[in-house]
């Protein structure tokens, strides 16, 4: 089966926000599960990642990822990262032929490009990372490589209508960002509904970056996307991870 790679018109470099389609995993992980940290069969996950690398036109060892920890830390890729993978939530490079990948299952996958400077980036931005500055940290790391006109695309993420949080989340956001209140809507009782991709766009645009969200909700579309929250609501023991990647 052919891989299903959602693309953004803002990004010229080979890239994709990959859906579940075209993968070798089965059962709970049916489809293109790229999560080495999942309990899926490792051989199936490796095969899925190899298919993504081939789609982007690179060898599997040129598809680079990190051990994601919901931080604002960024890794510069100049070659193989080695094992264990560095703990971080974003990658940048100016090396042609290298591909950057991040994994998500409701959090925001964000791909960056300065096509004139020849610099790309990829970031994993859940609420902790977005609030903690991972998007701005990625921009700074790209600028250190010579980027000046950066565009960014946010891929499939959980949408506001499906992202219920407690009132303490609003307090946490307002403690760090006085402009954050407009990304929360009232839910049932004291629950709030968080617009995570809207907040990501806010942070990017405030930094002067042209950006868009592809508009896909991971929670709502089970056929195409894995979702941590959907799996949690169902009491499932694990969940697949989507991969987003970009190649210079």
Arithmetic mean of pLDDT, 77-87: 92
pLDDT category, 1, cuts 50, 70, 90? low
Is 70 exceeded by the pLDDT of residue 5? yes
Min mean pLDDT across 1-5, 123-127, 240-244 is at: 1-5
Query: Which residues contact residue 236 at a Cβ distance below 8 angstroms, ignoring those fewer than 6 apart?
Result: 28
Domain that holds residue 204: 5-159+195-247
Residue 174 contacts residue 180 (beta carbons within 8 Å): yes
Question: pLDDT at position 82, please?
Answer: 85
Q: Is residue 11 one of the residues assigned to a domain? A: yes
Quick one: average pLDDT of 218-241?
97
- Hey, is 234 helix, strand or coil? helix
pLDDT exceeds 80 at position 88: yes
- Overall domain count for the chain: 1
Q: Is residue 70 part of a domain?
A: yes
The answer to the question of residue 168 being in a domain is: no
User: In this model, does residue 222 exceed pLDDT 90?
Assistant: yes
Please, which residues have CB within 8 angstroms of residue 222's CB and are 6 or more apart in sequence? 230
pLDDT of residue 165: 97
Is the CB of residue 66 less than 8 Å from the CB of residue 91? Answer: yes
Q: Specify the pTM.
A: 0.97
The CATH number assigned to the domain holding 104 equals 3.60.140.10
- The answer to whether residue 38 is domain-embedded is yes
Q: Could you tell me if residue 148 is inside a domain?
A: yes
Long-range contacts from 171-174, C-beta under 8 angstroms, 24+ separation:
172/131, 173/127, 173/131, 173/199
Is the residue at 176 inside a domain?
no
């Amino acid at each position: 089966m052919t891989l299903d790679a959602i693309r953004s018109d803002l990004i010229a470099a080979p890239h994709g926000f990959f859906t579940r389609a075209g993968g070798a995993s089965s059962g709970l992980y049916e489809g293109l599960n790229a999560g080495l940290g999942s309990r899926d069969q490792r051989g199936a996950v490796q095969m899925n990642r190899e298919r993504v690398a081939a789609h982007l036109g690179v060898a599997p060892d040129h598809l680079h990822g990190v051990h994601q920890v919901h931080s604002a830390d960024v890794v510069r890729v100049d070659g193989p990262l080695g094992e264990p993978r560095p703990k971080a939530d974003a990658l940048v490079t100016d090396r042609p032929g290298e591909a950057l990948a991040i994994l998500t299952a409701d959090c925001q996958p964000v791909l960056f490009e300065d096509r004139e400077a020849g610099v790309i980036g990829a970031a994993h931005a859940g609420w902790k990372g977005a609030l903690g500055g991972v998007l701005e940290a990625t921009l700074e790391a790209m600028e250190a490589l010579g980027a000046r006109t950066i565009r960014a695309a946010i891929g499939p993420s959980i949408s506001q209508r499906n992202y219920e949080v407690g009132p303490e989340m609003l307090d946490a956001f307002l403690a760090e960002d006085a402009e954050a209140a407009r990304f929360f809507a009232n839910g049932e009782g004291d629950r709030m509904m968080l617009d995570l991709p809207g907040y990501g766009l806010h942070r990017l645009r405030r930094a002067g970056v042209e950006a868009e969200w592809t508009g896909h909700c991971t929670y709502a579309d089970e056929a195409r996307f894995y979702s941590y929250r959907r799996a949690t609501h169902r009491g499932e023991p694990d969940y697949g991870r989507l991969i987003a990647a970009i190649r210079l």
